[in-house]
Amino acid sequence: MAIAIESSLIDQQITKLMTLINSTISYAEVKYLNETTSAKNSTATILNYRTKYCVGDTLTFRVEMFNYLGERKSYGGDFLRARIFSPELRAAASGRIEDLHNGSYDVHFTLFWKGRVQISILLMHPSEGVTVLWKNRNIGYRYIKYTGKFLNNSKEVLTDCGLYLNSQKEVCEYADKKYGEVFYCIKQPGVPCEAFIALRIGNHLPSYLTRLEKSLFTRSNIANEIHKTVASIDVFECSKANINVTSKCKTGMSPPFPSGYFLQDQWFPTHCNLSSFKPLSHIQKCLSGKMIYLMGDSTMRQWIEFFPKVLTDLKFYDNHVIGIHKTFLAFDLQNNIYVQWKRHGHPFITPTFYPVRDHSYVPNEIDRLAGGSNTIIVITLGQHFRSSPLPLYIRRLLNVRKALEDLFLRSPDTKVFIKSENTREISLDIERFSDYHGYIQYLICKRIFRDLNVGLIDAWDMSIAFNSNNLHPPQVVVKNQINLFLSYIC
């Protein structure tokens, strides 16, 4: 009975969040390409123009949208991306975008450093493209094909699997009753459900897009610069400027957006202080005696792959499992440090088979931990969910939150961090994996965990500022993610 009530509450939360997102979509029907938003014809003008800008000032652009016919747009919903940068200073920061819902946008930049600052405002997708992406994403689970591998004595047998199967055939059901997670495979004659050994997940059906809709997502129509009246400004160090933050980074904080900026390739958060030293240089002392559990996708695996570069005594344990999606274990016996990376549960998209013997969902992994002051958990969920209907992602995050709430009841001093997903390649399989899908998930993730005692590693903000456009951000970004993480612990 208690489980049924809890499931009903989660369903209500999912409905509430889906309604909230639906209210932000313009639902602009595509009739003719030349009636969609054109970056070339749109303009960005400084609203608060000054002859002199100081560090700490805000710079605001008004963006006015026009279509290819030169006609003013009367509704919002375009997917924009904005950043400021100074290549010679290796400095960059994201801009905050405000949709005025009438074809205009205000883009706000905080000027964090002195020098020549360049401005970039990109139209990633027109509102008409956003409408198409949102509609197609929530059609169902057919974007991805799951193939399960079973063992029938010594012979391998393949069968269809999935989070949802539209089949009249007998199925194997793998259910987690506590959290309501279910996975299915079509049962093959004479093969027991317990013989499930491996899974691969790849792209499935052809596109749901019409020919006209596909034209919205050709590379020439993605991530185009909007014409600006001013492309760069000079920023000065004025006596009034004061953007230094004195408070230590602590879990439970709600970072603003932007949450920080790069300067000389180092990330400085805006809501807390990294302190006078780089936490990464004190990593051995910082993590001594700690057990670190990394849970999520390959962008989280990048952390455990980076650690040996700075923890020279950290050695990987050979668990005799082949493939990069196995569980990674590493030990530093000198400093009594334990690090583990484990992939999150279904869906985990990869064209190669990976073993399912150790499969579990993140909430189950959290439930298994005793926690305590020497336990650290870092979680990231996102990239592999982009091609599934959004309610699946929301449910998974709500289940993670419930598991963390239980963990904090038994071990309130456990340190927990949520690493948001990052941006990825601009024009790779847009229909399934567009950053628009990632952006909605980023907002949902921040909302679900915003009042919980966790730390946020804002990988979305970092990757936009750095302009990495890579599913696996470069090492300098990963290094700064870990440096920020350590600032909460050291």
Number of domains in the chain: 3
Q: In the prediction, which pLDDT does 275 show?
A: 64
User: Looking at the structure, do residues 436 and 321 belong to the same domain, yes or no?
Assistant: yes
What lies within 8 Å, CB to CB, of 9 at 6+ separation is none
- On the question of pLDDT at 269 being above 70, the answer is yes
Our CA dihedral for 306, 452, 81, 472, rounded to 10 degrees, sits at 20
Q: Which of 136-140, 228-232, 315-319, 387-391 has the highest average model confidence (pLDDT)?
A: 387-391
Q: Is 40 domain-assigned?
A: yes
Q: Is 6 domain-assigned?
A: no
Output the CA angle 432-434-437, nearest 5 degrees. 90
State the residue range of the domain holding 337.
260-347+357-489
User: Looking at the structure, do residues 299 and 444 belong to the same domain, yes or no?
Assistant: yes
Residue 1's pLDDT band (boundaries 50, 70, 90)?
very low
DSSP characters over 134-198 = HHHHTT-STTEEEEEEEEETTEEEEEEEESS---SS-EEEEEETTTTEEEEEEPPTT--GGGEEE
- On the question of pLDDT at 184 being above 90, the answer is yes
Distance between CA atoms of residues 369 and 419, nearest Å? 19
Q: In the prediction, which pLDDT does 241 show?
A: 56
Q: Is 25 domain-assigned?
A: no
Q: In the prediction, which pLDDT does 6 show?
A: 72
Q: Exposed/middle/buried for 310, CB within 10 Å: 0-12, 13-18, 19+?
A: middle
Instruction: Establish whether the linkage from the previous residue to 351 is cis, with ω within 30° of 0.
Output: no
Handedness of CA 140, 142, 146, 147 (dihedral sign): positive
Q: In the prediction, which pLDDT does 68 show?
A: 96
User: Looking at the structure, do residues 225 and 274 belong to the same domain, yes or no?
Assistant: no
Q: Mean per-residue pLDDT for 219-225?
A: 93
What is the model's pTM?
Answer: 0.95
Q: Is 45 domain-assigned?
A: yes
CA neighbor of 63 nearest in space, from 50, 52, 78: 78
Q: In the prediction, which pLDDT does 244 show?
A: 67
Scan for tokens 């007998």, then name that residue. Answer: 170
Yes or no: say if 446 and 455 are a contact pair by the CB < 8 Å rule: no
Q: Which amino acid is it at 135?
A: K
What lies within 8 Å, CB to CB, of 306 at 6+ separation is 475, 478, 479, 482
Helix (H, G, I), strand (E, B) or coil at 296: strand
- On the question of pLDDT at 440 being above 60, the answer is yes
Distance between CA atoms of residues 380 and 348, nearest Å? 13
User: Looking at the structure, do residues 127 and 150 belong to the same domain, yes or no?
Assistant: no
Q: What is the CATH number of the domain that holds 411?
A: 3.40.50.1110
Q: In the prediction, which pLDDT does 277 show?
A: 60
Distance between CA atoms of residues 92 and 88, nearest Å? 11
Q: Is 12 domain-assigned?
A: no
Residue 223's pLDDT band (boundaries 50, 70, 90)?
very high
Q: Which of 34-38, 101-105, 173-177, 316-320 has the lowest mean pLDDT?
A: 316-320
User: Looking at the structure, do residues 156 and 230 belong to the same domain, yes or no?
Assistant: no
User: Looking at the structure, do residues 66 and 162 belong to the same domain, yes or no?
Assistant: no
User: Looking at the structure, do residues 148 and 127 belong to the same domain, yes or no?
Assistant: no
Q: In the prediction, which pLDDT does 200 show?
A: 94
Distance between CA atoms of residues 244 and 253, nearest Å? 17
User: Looking at the structure, do residues 317 and 436 belong to the same domain, yes or no?
Assistant: yes
Q: What is the CATH number of the domain that holds 228?
A: 2.60.40.10
Q: Is 27 domain-assigned?
A: no
User: Looking at the structure, do residues 183 and 293 belong to the same domain, yes or no?
Assistant: no
Helix (H, G, I), strand (E, B) or coil at 209: coil
User: Looking at the structure, do residues 227 and 274 belong to the same domain, yes or no?
Assistant: no
Q: In the prediction, which pLDDT does 331 show?
A: 96
Question: What does the pLDDT look like over 451-478, one tens digit per residue?
Answer: 999 999 999 999 999 999 999 999 999 9
- On the question of pLDDT at 273 being above 90, the answer is no
Give the rounded percent of residues in the chain with a pLDDT score beyond 90.
82
Question: What does the pLDDT look like over 345-389, one tens digit per residue?
Answer: 999 999 999 999 889 999 999 999 999 999 999 999 999 999 999
Yes or no: say if 126 and 230 are a contact pair by the CB < 8 Å rule: no
Q: In the prediction, which pLDDT does 276 show?
A: 53
- On the question of pLDDT at 264 being above 60, the answer is yes
DSSP 216: T
Instruction: Establish whether the linkage from the previous residue to 363 is cis, with ω within 30° of 0.
Output: no
Q: In the prediction, which pLDDT does 433 show?
A: 94
Give the rounded percent of residues in the chain with a pLDDT score beyond 70.
97
Q: In the prediction, which pLDDT does 128 show?
A: 96
- On the question of pLDDT at 179 being above 60, the answer is yes
Distance between CA atoms of residues 52 and 67, nearest Å? 34
Chain centre to alpha carbon of residue 138: 19
- On the question of pLDDT at 4 being above 70, the answer is no
Q: Is 211 domain-assigned?
A: no
For 420, phi and psi rounded to 5 degrees? Answer: -70, 160
The chain-wide mean pLDDT, for the chain, equals 93
Structure-token pair, residue 175: 């259910």
User: Looking at the structure, do residues 281 and 391 belong to the same domain, yes or no?
Assistant: yes
- On the question of pLDDT at 146 being above 60, the answer is yes
**Whole-number Cα distances in Å, 49 to 46, 82, 164, 231, 440:** 6, 18, 54, 13, 32
Chain centre to alpha carbon of residue 355: 25
Chain centre to alpha carbon of residue 140: 21
- On the question of pLDDT at 176 being above 90, the answer is yes
Q: Which amino acid is it at 146?
A: Y
Residue 243's pLDDT band (boundaries 50, 70, 90)?
low
Question: What does the pLDDT look like over 12-27, one tens digit per residue?
Answer: 999 999 999 999 888 8
Q: Is 20 domain-assigned?
A: no
Distance between CA atoms of residues 484 and 301, nearest Å? 17
Q: Mean per-residue pLDDT for 295-301?
A: 97
Q: Mean per-residue pLDDT for 339-343?
A: 97
What lies within 8 Å, CB to CB, of 211 at 6+ separation is none
User: Looking at the structure, do residues 402 and 456 belong to the same domain, yes or no?
Assistant: yes
CA neighbor of 409 nearest in space, from 399, 401, 398, 420: 401
Q: In the prediction, which pLDDT does 288 show?
A: 96
Q: In the prediction, which pLDDT does 371 show?
A: 96
Q: In the prediction, which pLDDT does 115 show?
A: 96
